[in-house]
Amino acid sequence: MDVKELFHALADRMPWLHVGRLILLDAGIQTSRGWDRSIPSEVSEEDKDKLIAHLQQHQVAGEKALQFFRLSRQQKQAIEEVASSRRAPASAFKEAYPLPVSNSEMAKLEPDDPSMVTRLSTNQGIALIFASLRTFTERIKVPSSDLKESRRGEYEEVIGIRRRKVRAFDALWIPRQGNYVCSAVDFPFDAPQDFPESGQAYMRKQISTMLGSVVEPTNFWKAVDGLYRSRDGRVVELGFATDNAGVKHLKSRSGGRCIRQDLYHRGGSAAVHDEITPFRISVQWDLAGVRDNPARLELALHGVSRMLYEPKSHIGTAVLRGGFSSSHIAFVLEKLNSAIDGE
């Protein structure tokens, strides 16, 4: 496997500062400013194996829309048995794995259902990994230099709309401990909110087929308020309503500050006697990383204000940013459950 191909696969998936830089340090590779300046001329086979293992773990747990499905002991055993016998069919994705398909191969493909590419088995659990091509439309600013000189003065700004192709990896994570399975669907940071939906529908269908019955994801609506009231982690984004029907949306990702302790927020919440009801929240935690460089996980529950007035509000998806290990999935689930239980 070519070193540059491997690095491009890593860079295509991983945020640099709290993920990419850490996995390179863990593999004993000196880092500089960003991916392009950190590509070595050669890498030992041992370090290359470490990087491949990190890539596979990121395909399970990195930049994901998570859905959790609680199961009975019998249901869990049934899924484990089916998963242990699954084999990946021949496909362009399987042939390229653990790398994504090349640009030339991607140009030949159109969006379709995910195709299984491998089964990973570790001490923590089993992951069935699926690959697919997905698309979304994005708006981009067109430089004035791309226009004919005679037309440049006619527009203040030119916006183009194009279809962007994404090489997605989704995972069905089956931990050895616990009464749940997890659908972990790729959700790039700059993708639209509905990007994971087709992958999630496919993963729910896979789980239901394995069980022979329809399953629905766990509802984490109550965890929104629980995460806010907890003292755990740093709240970096908060959407909430006050008792006078005002709706606010705060963000604070710089400087390691927590919105709970923000003077403006504390003053405002005190003015309404702390009678605020959150509907959207993002929380960060710094975990042990590599060489005193922390891993920074962010868990987000993307509710909307109308949910406050619905009889049965439902948030079935938890968004995980900064993850790169299946242990990070277990970490955020523990935080979600604690928030629901009010611990």
Mind listing the pLDDT tens digit of every residue in the chain (343 residues)?
788 899 999 999 999 988 999 999 988 888 888 888 888 878 889 999 999 999 999 999 999 999 999 999 999 999 999 999 999 999 999 999 999 999 999 999 989 999 999 999 988 999 999 999 999 999 999 888 888 888 888 888 889 999 999 999 999 999 999 999 999 999 999 999 999 999 999 999 999 999 999 999 999 999 999 999 998 999 999 999 987 768 999 998 877 889 988 755 566 555 555 678 999 999 999 998 777 788 999 999 999 999 999 999 999 999 999 999 999 999 999 999 999 986 5
Which token pair is 340? 């629901």
- One-letter amino acid at 11 equals A
Which token pair is 130? 């699926």
Which token pair is 5? 């191909």
How big is the CA angle at 237 (ends 233 and 240), to the nearest 5 degrees? 110
Cis peptide upstream of residue 98 (ω within 30 degrees of 0): yes
- One-letter amino acid at 72 equals S
**Is 146:167 a contact under the CB 8 Å cutoff?**
no
For residue 77, give every residue at least 6 positions away whose Cβ sits within 8 Å of its Cβ, in sequence order, or none.
Answer: none
Task: Report which DSSP code applies to 142.
Answer: P
Q: Decide the pairing of beta strands 276-290 and 247-251.
A: unpaired
Torsion sign, CA atoms 219, 225, 229, 232: positive
Q: Decide the pairing of beta strands 318-321 and 293-301.
A: antiparallel
Give the span between the Cα atoms of 296 and 31, in whole angstroms: 18
The per-residue pLDDT for range 154-175, each reduced to its tens digit, is 888 889 999 999 999 999 999 9
> C-alpha 93: how far from its chain's center?
21
For residue 26, give every residue at least 6 positions away whose Cβ sits within 8 Å of its Cβ, in sequence order, or none.
Answer: 50, 54, 290
**Is 133:164 a contact under the CB 8 Å cutoff?**
no
**Is 336:302 a contact under the CB 8 Å cutoff?**
no
